[in-house]
């Protein structure tokens, strides 16, 4: 078993996703404490260029599995290739994103290797050479510290928790082509339908403006979208707004929706039910706009405006527009 950390890169549309850089940064820190290096593996088709970028973010070696059978993610194909590599190189720790793909892939790989998995990690410490992994449990009501007894340790990492290092184009890492035989794949991807337009993905957004039942009607989401557009933010929604049919489920933030960790989360007409908080309480800054001064969201908020969303949101949008025009 080596002391190295292996980061499983996520590549989309020919480029690594931000979570990959965040894992490389954190992976390098942990590898340092363990006395090893951070390495990366990229799976896909025609991904040589994207894989090369991983070196600029600190990967000291890049394993590349390039094959047309890996063009689209499949749990079976990716598990076959990845578990083969892990058995071969024996890293101390494997990091995957707690993303749609990572949440699907990591448990399957862990089962194949007969090891444990700590999912949705928000912190890692090393004590006496042992890894202590921090992860929220009970919908974020408590934080557990987990010590994995199996090796290699496997962890999925919550996006937007760890800072991504600044890229350094002078850093180059050797690339090694690894066997890319997907093996027997019973499920095949026949089509990929991307969400409309250039909508910012909630789990990757730096700023999110979310609307709840306080918006009263679906057409009133237009002012949330306007504020979001002004800030370059993603739009989110509470379950009440989704259940009412004002937004589809892909917008829902919370226990049964998406877990988000933006720098700024603006909750508009959202009460702050525990199930909503479970999806956004690890945001760096929370701003709430609610006409009820006793709304629970204010207990969690860094900035609170007690007021009517129909008055406050348009004023905010105008003010931000003015600020941007002056930039």
Ligand X SMILES: Cc1cc2nc3c(=O)[nH]c(=O)nc-3n(C[C@H](O)[C@H](O)[C@H](O)COP(=O)(O)OP(=O)(O)OC[C@H]3O[C@@H](n4cnc5c(N)ncnc54)[C@H](O)[C@@H]3O)c2cc1C
User: Which of 304, 254, 251 lies closest to 274 in space, CA to CA?
Assistant: 254
Minimum CB–partner distance for residue 131 and ligand X (Å)? 30
Nearer to ligand X, 4 or 290 (CB): 290
Nearer to ligand X, 283 or 290 (CB): 290
Footprint of ligand X on 196-225 (CB under 6 A): 212-214
Give the integer Cα–Cα distance in Å for 277 and 281.
Answer: 5
User: Which of 43, 41, 24, 152 lies closest to 87 in space, CA to CA?
Assistant: 152
Minimum CB–partner distance for residue 228 and ligand X (Å)? 17
Q: Which stretch binds ligand X (CB under 6 A): 9-17, 67-75, 130-138, 274-282?
A: 274-282
Phi/psi at 215 (nearest 5 deg)? -80, -15
DSSP class of residue 258 equals B
Minimum CB–partner distance for residue 216 and ligand X (Å)? 7
Pick from 54, 105, 118, 295 the residue near ligand X by CB under 6 A: 295
Task: Tell me if 247 contacts ligand X by CB under 6 A.
Answer: no
Pick from 101, 104, 151, 310 the residue near ligand X by CB under 6 A: 310
Task: Tell me if 248 contacts ligand X by CB under 6 A.
Answer: no
The angle, 0 to 180 degrees and rounded to 10, between the axes of the packed helices 75-89 and 100-113 is 50
Using only C-alpha atoms, the chain has a radius of gyration, in whole angstroms, of: 21
As to burial, measured by CB atoms within 10 angstroms (0-12 exposed, 13-18 middle, 19+ buried), residue 216 is middle
Minimum CB–partner distance for residue 27 and ligand X (Å)? 30
Collapse the DSSP code of 11 into the 3-class scheme (helix H, G, I; strand E, B; otherwise coil) and give the result: strand
Task: Tell me if 282 contacts ligand X by CB under 6 A.
Answer: no
Minimum CB–partner distance for residue 267 and ligand X (Å)? 8
Pick from 27, 36, 152, 269 the residue near ligand X by CB under 6 A: 269
Task: Tell me if 136 contacts ligand X by CB under 6 A.
Answer: no
Residues touching ligand X, count (CB under 6 A): 28
Task: Tell me if 291 contacts ligand X by CB under 6 A.
Answer: yes
Apex 186 CA angle, 181 and 192, nearest 5 = 85
Pick from 59, 155, 173, 309 the residue near ligand X by CB under 6 A: 309
Nearer to ligand X, 72 or 291 (CB): 291
Nearer to ligand X, 77 or 272 (CB): 272
As to burial, measured by CB atoms within 10 angstroms (0-12 exposed, 13-18 middle, 19+ buried), residue 131 is buried
Nearer to ligand X, 79 or 252 (CB): 252
> Quick one: residue 222, left, alpha or beta (phi over 0 = left, psi -120 to 50 = alpha)?
alpha
Cis previous bond, 152, omega within 30: yes
User: Which of 82, 11, 4 lies closest to 39 in space, CA to CA?
Assistant: 4
Chain residues binding ligand X by CB under 6 A are 212-214, 238-241, 252-257, 269-271, 273, 275-276, 279, 289-292, 295, 308-310
């Amino acid at each position: 078993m080596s002391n190295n950390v292996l980061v499983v890169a996520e590549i989309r549309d020919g480029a690594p996703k931000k979570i990959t850089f965040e894992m490389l940064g954190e992976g390098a820190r942990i590898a340092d404490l363990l006395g090893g290096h951070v390495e990366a593996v990229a799976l896909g088709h025609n991904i040589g260029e994207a894989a090369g970028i991983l070196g600029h973010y600190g990967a000291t070696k890049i394993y590349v599995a390039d094959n047309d059978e890996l063009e689209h993610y499949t749990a079976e194909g990716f598990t076959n290739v990845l578990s083969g590599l892990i058995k071969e190189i024996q890293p101390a720790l494997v990091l995957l994103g707690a993303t749609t793909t990572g949440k699907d892939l990591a448990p399957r790989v862990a089962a194949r290797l007969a090891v444990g998995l700590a999912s949705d990690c928000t912190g890692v410490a090393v004590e006496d050479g042992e890894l202590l992994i921090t992860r929220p449990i009970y919908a974020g009501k408590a934080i557990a510290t987990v010590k994995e007894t199996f090796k290699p340790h496997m962890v999925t990492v919550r996006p937007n928790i760890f800072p991504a290092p600044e890229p350094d184009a002078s850093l180059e890492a050797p690339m090694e082509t690894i066997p890319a035989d997907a093996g027997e794949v019973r499920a095949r991807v026949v089509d990929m339908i991307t969400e409309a337009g250039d909508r910012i993905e909630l789990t990757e957004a730096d700023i999110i403006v979310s609307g709840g039942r306080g918006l009263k009607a679906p057409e009133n989401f237009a002012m949330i979208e306007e504020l979001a557009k002004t800030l370059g933010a993603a739009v989110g929604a509470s379950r009440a707004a989704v259940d009412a049919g004002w937004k589809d489920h892909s917008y829902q933030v919370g226990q049964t929706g998406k877990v988000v960790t933006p720098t700024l989360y603006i909750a508009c007409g959202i009460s702050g039910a525990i199930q909503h908080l479970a999806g956004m309480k690890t945001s760096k800054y929370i701003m709430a706009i609610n006409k009820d001064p006793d709304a629970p969201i204010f207990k969690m908020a860094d900035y609170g405006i007690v007021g009517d969303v129909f008055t406050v949101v348009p004023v905010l949008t105008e003010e931000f527009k003015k600020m941007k025009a002056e930039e």
